[in-house]
Each structure stands twice: as C-alpha cells, then as structure tokens.
C-alpha cells in the first residue's frame, strides 16, 4: 500500500496483521482526501499538493522546556506559549484546542526538534556545546523555527517542533520590543536585538497548525518579525477558520478567481488581497496556483475588492510546492505592478459579492505592467471641489463604492459623493497596501463647509507602538446633498512598514472605500470590527494537566498515525554520511562485554556467598 506506509520499507511491523489491516482501511480514506485547498491564507503544502494540517479539529499537545542561558524566566515562556495557543484557539472558534506542559527534564521535555512523537518548544541556547547544525544554519537572520512533520501521503501533521533563537536575540516580555520594521525604531546593524517573545512564538505556532508565510502587512504569519505580530490579524483569523471549519462555517462564503499576465497567460504566485468594502481593510489573502487560480475560504459575507501584487518575499519563503514563482512577467523581465479589479475608467473598483454557503467567482484580473514603476493606477485628475471626480452615485453604486487613485505627497485630491444622506463611513487604505503615503481626510458639504465628522487619521495604534496609518472618517445624520472628501498625502518612511522596503510600492496610491447607511459587518462577533480584526485577549486562566505530556508513537502502533511499520532511520544517501548503527554498535560492544562480564562475576560471587551462608 502506497498510502502511509510507503517508504518505510525495511521497518519491522510491531502491529498484528489484523490491526494493521484495520488501520490501513482507515488510512485509505485519508489518502483519498485532502487535495490542496487554497483559502484565504498560504497553506503549508506537501510536494504532492496535499494540505499539511492536523486531521479534524485537533487538540495540540506541546511540551515546553524553558532552559536557556539568557536568563529568560520559565514562567514567561509558559505564559507566552499558553497565550499563543489561546490566540489560535480563540481565532478558530474552538476548531483547535490545546494542552501545554512545561518542564526541564530533557528525557520528558526534549530540547530538540527530532521526530520523536513530542511537539517541543525550546530555546537554542539550551543545547549544550556549539552544534554544527545550529551554528551553521541558525543565523542572526533567523529568530525562530518550526519543523512540521507530516504524513507524505495524506498531509496529516504528526508533530511540530519549535526552537527559539536566543543565541542571536534577547527574548523579552515587553510588547514593544521588536527586531523588525514597523515602528521606525529598528536598529538593524549589529547588536542582539530584544524581541517580544510572543511575536515569534505565536507566528511559529501558526506554522504548527499548518500555515505558511503570508505577505499581508498586518498578518501574524508575515515572513518577517514585526511589531504587533503577536496579535492575530484579519488574515490569520480567516486562515484558521478555513483550515479547521467550525460551527459558523455555514455563515461564511468563498471566493475564486483567475489572475493573468498582461498578455493573458495564467499568472502563478500572484498575491491576492480581498479588501472588505464594509470594513475598509484587507480581510484575507492568498496565492494563485500554476493555473493562475486563487481560492479564499471562510470569508465573511459582503462585498470585496480584489488587489493583486507580486509576492515580494519570494517563493523561498514558501513551501517547495510553490517553487518557481516569478513575478517578472512583463516585457524586459520587469515585475508586474500592483493591480486591481476595476470597472470602466480604470479607477472605480469592481466589487465581488460573497454570500454565505456560496462560492463567488470573481472576474479575471489581468495585471498591468508599468514602465514607471509603482501600482498600475489611473490617476484621477481633479483636485478641487469644483472639479472633483464623482466616485459615488446611489443610482449606480448602491450602498457603497471603492476607488483607487494616485496620491502625491504634499498635494490633495478631492472626490465627490452624490446624494448622500444619513450615515457615511469612508476608509482610505494606503499603508496597509504598502503604499508609501499617509492620507489625511477632510469632509466638506456642497458649500465648501467642513462637515462635523469623526476623523481617525491612524486607524490602529497598538501597545507595541505599531501604527497603521490608514485613515477613516464617519459622519452621522447627514442631510441629503453632495459631499466632498478631500485627501492630503504625506510620505511615510519605509521603516514604518512591517517587512520594510521589500514590499513597499514605488509610487504612492490609495484605495478609498465607502459605505452608506450600512449595519456592522455580518461576522463582527467572530471577526472583531476594527482595522486589524484585533481580538480581545481576556483569555481564561489555563492550568496544565497533571502528569507528563503524552508522547505520540512514531512507529504507528498507537493507531494514531496509521503506519503499519516501524520507521527505520536508515541512510539513503552517499556513504560519506555520519556513522551508521554498525559503527555505534562496534564501539559499544567491547564496553557491553566488559560490563556483562563484571555483572556475571558479581552474581557468581553473590551466589557463592549465599551458598556459604546456608551451609
């Protein structure tokens, strides 16, 4: 049988034949399932396309070993690990649960990433000596690592081991400590940066549940450490629900679509952003496959705008399944520009409506190639109330709109909204889309008078100091009339953006979304209604179960993994590898013989003594 036991040849079955067959029968079902299901995130994916994730609604068991040489307190590791697990548990709506044990006995709490049936969390400095693999591969560029072990046929996660690089970084419990971009305070050259441990550990736990790296600026799964990363964002919340559907899955919908090059060929590896019109933020993201198709699951019902951008972190940040991503598809091997699904005119965003239990199909997006760099955006020309561009007409646009426009630092743009009455809510996104500009909003009536409105010029400011410079404006009880939104642009420094300059666009642009007299988003209870979808972290107190953490069998005789053979750690490579079992046995044999002889002598002496005593 290929499924599950393929490649374990040479192993010795420890199961009875009947139980083995029984397990195989179950395993066949697993083998038939789990095709790659893209969905509002970047999944960890096996080379055969199977999604790498735990089966069903899993309970994750982690064993932490707090030993380290940096003075990081054991209780702080425990608190951080539990918080991280609670975040994912809460985000999943109960789809994922956990238990966590912690101790220092290395025979129980293994401070390594071996495939040993135990999902471990530990510090690199706990390892004695200077291991070649640690000092060689664990560089000052790397803060933490998760090894995800899985069944190659089914993609079922078997174990996940997390190591934290406290050799090159000083982990702290201070939420404002970060090594990365996003605060404008990054000191990048030299030094051992202090890093809030939750930023790293919560991200690594995301890998453990089956998520790969994301490109979304606010995502915990962003490939670079950044401030506020500890707190799950909209994309992370959608991702865990898509991976492990729960009770509200019937209240969610999905989105599919195709992205093409400027010549109409399928575009592989494009980063697709779903911008919720109502929320005025990026709610989910995904990647296109080799056919240019993308799919996003577990989306909140509502209208979405689609943005396409290169996955600028590169395919190296993703599983090998996504190898070969090349955004340089324009003539002259130039990178395609950030592009949008737009209606006629090139600046009006075309909305795609998502409904619960339905799969919406978005029109194909053909990315654009610009010669001047920056987003492929048609600039609206008007810049005064007298000649402003009309962006909203209730007769055509219904309850809302979206436009994309260029914005020049130091200049203003003005947009006209026709026949507005009641409540108006506007969002201006630039920072979130890696546009190097900050919008400042003002609202005027048709007489040019400022309108009394609540203006938010930084839509999110976190405890870490991270600031989202997108802007919003809310006006209530507006009398019927035309209104004008004026936006002034101011440049932002690249160091204020998580992931830094790599993702930043060359030319400033912004997206404006508007909602007229609309209620709160449909899933505001599950996806908090704020620009980051930031959850409350009033988690209940957690107490570890008594006893030691359970160690899952790696040989398959517990039925949990479904293998019918014993894994044999055999060398398949060239003979220049490390010592084999024979070599070790050869070295142990003389010692074993000596010990055995000594034991026999001792027993013999004891027998003689007792015989003499009887006499």
Nearer Cβ to other proteins (138/523): 138
CB 521 within 8 A of CB 278: yes
| CA dist., res. 290 & res. 265, Å (int) | 10
Binding other proteins (rule: CB under 8 A), the pick from 578, 612, 614, 615 is 578
Residue pointed to by tokens 């072990």: 149
Asked if 191 is part of the footprint of other proteins (rule: CB under 8 A), the reply reads yes
Nearer Cβ to other proteins (233/260): 233
Region from 195-203, 268-276, 346-354, 364-372 binding other proteins, contact rule CB under 8 A: 195-203
Region from 421-429, 445-453, 512-520, 562-570 binding other proteins, contact rule CB under 8 A: 562-570
Region from 190-198, 240-248, 421-429, 477-485 binding other proteins, contact rule CB under 8 A: 190-198
Residue pointed to by tokens 């019902």: 301
Dmax over CA atoms of the chain, in Å, equals 123
* Beta carbon of residue 588, minimum distance to other proteins (angstroms, whole number): 6
Residue pointed to by tokens 């009309």: 390
Region from 75-83, 303-311, 478-486, 588-596 binding other proteins, contact rule CB under 8 A: 588-596
* Beta carbon of residue 392, minimum distance to other proteins (angstroms, whole number): 29
**Measured between alpha carbons, how far is residue 299 from residues 237, 253, 303, 304 in Å?**
10, 5, 10, 10
Site for other proteins in 302-331 (CB under 8 A): 313-320, 323
Asked if 103 is part of the footprint of other proteins (rule: CB under 8 A), the reply reads no
Binding other proteins (rule: CB under 8 A), the pick from 24, 38, 39, 44 is 44
Residues 6+ apart with CB under 8 A from 590: none
Asked if 71 is part of the footprint of other proteins (rule: CB under 8 A), the reply reads no
**Interaction pattern, residues 126-155, with other proteins; x per rule: CB under 8 A:** -xxxxxxxxxxxxxxxxxxxxxxxxxxx--
Region from 14-22, 61-69, 71-79, 595-603 binding other proteins, contact rule CB under 8 A: 595-603
Contacts by 184-188, CB closer than 8 A, 24 or more apart: 184/493, 184/495, 184/496, 185/465, 185/495, 186/495, 186/500
Asked if 212 is part of the footprint of other proteins (rule: CB under 8 A), the reply reads yes
Binding other proteins (rule: CB under 8 A), the pick from 103, 184, 346, 394 is 184
- Tell me the site size for other proteins, rule CB under 8 A: 136
Nearer Cβ to other proteins (52/243): 52
Count of alpha carbons within 13 angstroms of residue 382, beta-carbon side: 15
Residue 505's nearest CA partner among 377, 347, 365 is 377
Binding other proteins (rule: CB under 8 A), the pick from 30, 90, 163, 380 is 163
Residue 103's nearest CA partner among 549, 590, 439 is 549
Nearer Cβ to other proteins (359/495): 495
Residues 6+ apart with CB under 8 A from 259: 266, 267, 270, 272, 288, 292, 294, 308, 364, 365, 366, 367
Region from 237-245, 294-302, 400-408, 582-590 binding other proteins, contact rule CB under 8 A: 582-590
Residue 299 phi, psi dihedral angles, 5° rounding: -85, 145
Residue pointed to by tokens 């915990």: 220
* Beta carbon of residue 494, minimum distance to other proteins (angstroms, whole number): 6
Site for other proteins in 454-483 (CB under 8 A): 467
Nearer Cβ to other proteins (225/405): 225
Asked if 187 is part of the footprint of other proteins (rule: CB under 8 A), the reply reads yes
| CA dist., res. 377 & res. 391, Å (int) | 15
* Beta carbon of residue 469, minimum distance to other proteins (angstroms, whole number): 8
Region from 221-229, 276-284, 399-407, 542-550 binding other proteins, contact rule CB under 8 A: 221-229
Binding other proteins (rule: CB under 8 A), the pick from 176, 249, 495, 544 is 495
Residues 6+ apart with CB under 8 A from 137: none
Nearer Cβ to other proteins (446/493): 493
Residues 6+ apart with CB under 8 A from 397: none
Binding other proteins (rule: CB under 8 A), the pick from 395, 573, 611, 615 is 573
Nearer Cβ to other proteins (500/528): 500
Binding other proteins (rule: CB under 8 A), the pick from 25, 450, 595, 608 is 595
- Which tokens in the block code for residue 197? 């441990």
**Measured between alpha carbons, how far is residue 528 from residues 90, 431, 524, 525 in Å?**
12, 20, 5, 6
Nearer Cβ to other proteins (208/307): 208
* Beta carbon of residue 491, minimum distance to other proteins (angstroms, whole number): 5
- Which tokens in the block code for residue 585? 């046995």
445 bridge partner residues: 483
Nearer Cβ to other proteins (437/478): 437
Site for other proteins in 338-377 (CB under 8 A): none
Binding other proteins (rule: CB under 8 A), the pick from 477, 543, 572, 614 is 572
CB atoms within 10 A of CB 574: 6
Distance of alpha carbon 347 from its chain centroid, rounded?
30
60 secondary structure, DSSP code: E
Binding other proteins (rule: CB under 8 A), the pick from 177, 198, 204, 300 is 204
Residue 591's nearest CA partner among 579, 601, 581, 599 is 599
Region from 90-98, 156-164, 419-427, 442-450 binding other proteins, contact rule CB under 8 A: 156-164
Asked if 406 is part of the footprint of other proteins (rule: CB under 8 A), the reply reads no
């Amino acid at each position: 049988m290929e499924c599950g036991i393929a490649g374990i040849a040479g192993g010795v079955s420890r199961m009875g034949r009947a139980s083995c067959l029984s397990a195989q029968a179950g395993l066949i079902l697993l083998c038939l399932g789990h095709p790659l299901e893209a969905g509002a995130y970047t999944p960890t994916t096996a080379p055969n396309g199977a999604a790498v994730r735990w089966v069903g609604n899993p309970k994750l068991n982690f064993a932490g070993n707090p030993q380290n040489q940096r003075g990081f307190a054991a209780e702080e590791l425990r608190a951080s690990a539990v918080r991280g697990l609670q975040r994912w548990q809460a985000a999943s709506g109960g789809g994922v649960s956990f238990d966590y044990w912690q101790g220092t006995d290395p025979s129980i709490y293994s401070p390594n990433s071996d495939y040993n049936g135990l999902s471990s969390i530990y510090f690199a400095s706990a390892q004695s000596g200077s291991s070649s693999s640690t000092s060689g591969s664990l560089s000052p560029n790397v803060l933490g690592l998760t090894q995800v072990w899985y069944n190659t046929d089914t993609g079922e996660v078997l174990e996940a081991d997390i190591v934290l690089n406290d050799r090159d970084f000083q982990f702290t419990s201070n939420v404002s400590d970060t090594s990365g971009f996003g605060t404008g305070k990054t000191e990048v050259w030299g030094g051992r940066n202090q890093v809030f441990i939750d930023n790293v550990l919560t991200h690594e736990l995301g890998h453990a549940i089956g998520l790969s790296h994301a490109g979304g600026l606010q995502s915990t799964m962003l490939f670079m450490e950044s401030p506020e990363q500890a707190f799950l964002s909209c994309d992370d919340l959608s991702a865990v629900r898509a991976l492990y559907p729960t009770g509200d899955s019937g209240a969610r919908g999905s989105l599919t679509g195709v992205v093409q090059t400027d010549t109409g060929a399928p575009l592989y590896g494009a980063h697709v952003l779903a911008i919720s019109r109502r929320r005025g933020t990026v709610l989910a993201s995904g990647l296109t496959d080799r056919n240019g198709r993308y799919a996003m699951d577990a989306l909140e019902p509502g209208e979405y705008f689609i943005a396409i951008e290169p996955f600028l972190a590169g395919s190296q940040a993703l599983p090998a399944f996504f190898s070969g991503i090349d955004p340089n598809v324009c003539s002259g091997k130039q990178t395609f520009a950030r592009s949008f699904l737009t209606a006629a005119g090139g600046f009006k965003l075309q909305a795609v409506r998502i409904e619960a239990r339905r799969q919406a199909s978005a029109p194909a997006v053909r990315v654009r190639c610009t010669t001047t760099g920056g987003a492929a955006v048609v600039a609206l020309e008007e810049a005064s109330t007298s000649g402003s561009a009309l962006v909203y007409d209730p007769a055509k646009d219904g309850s809302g709109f979206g436009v994309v426009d260029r914005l020049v630092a130091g200049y203003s743009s003005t947009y006209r909204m026709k026949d507005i009455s009641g409540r108006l809510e506007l969002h201006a996104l630039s920072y979130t889309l890696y546009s190097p500009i900050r919008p400042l909003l003002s609202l005027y009536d048709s007489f040019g008078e400022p309108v009394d409105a609540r203006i938010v010029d930084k839509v999110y400011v976190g405890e870490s100091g991270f600031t989202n410079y997108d802007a919003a404006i809310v006006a209530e009880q507006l009398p019927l009339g035309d209104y004008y939104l004026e936006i002034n642009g101011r440049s932002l420094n690249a160091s204020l953006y998580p992931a830094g300059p790599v993702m930043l666009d060359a030319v400033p642009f912004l997206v404006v979304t508007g909602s007229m007299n609309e209620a709160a988003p449909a899933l505001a209870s599950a996806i908090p209604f704020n620009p980051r979808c930031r959850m409350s972290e009033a988690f209940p107190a957690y107490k570890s179960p008594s006893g030691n953490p359970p160690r899952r069998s790696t040989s398959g005789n517990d039925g949990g993994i479904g293998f019918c053979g014993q894994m044999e750690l055999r060398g398949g490579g060239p003979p220049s590898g490390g010592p084999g079992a024979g070599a070790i046995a050869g070295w142990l044999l003389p010692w074993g013989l000596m010990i055995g002889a000594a034991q026999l002598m001792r027993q013999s002496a004891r027998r003689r003594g007792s015989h003499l005593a009887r006499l």
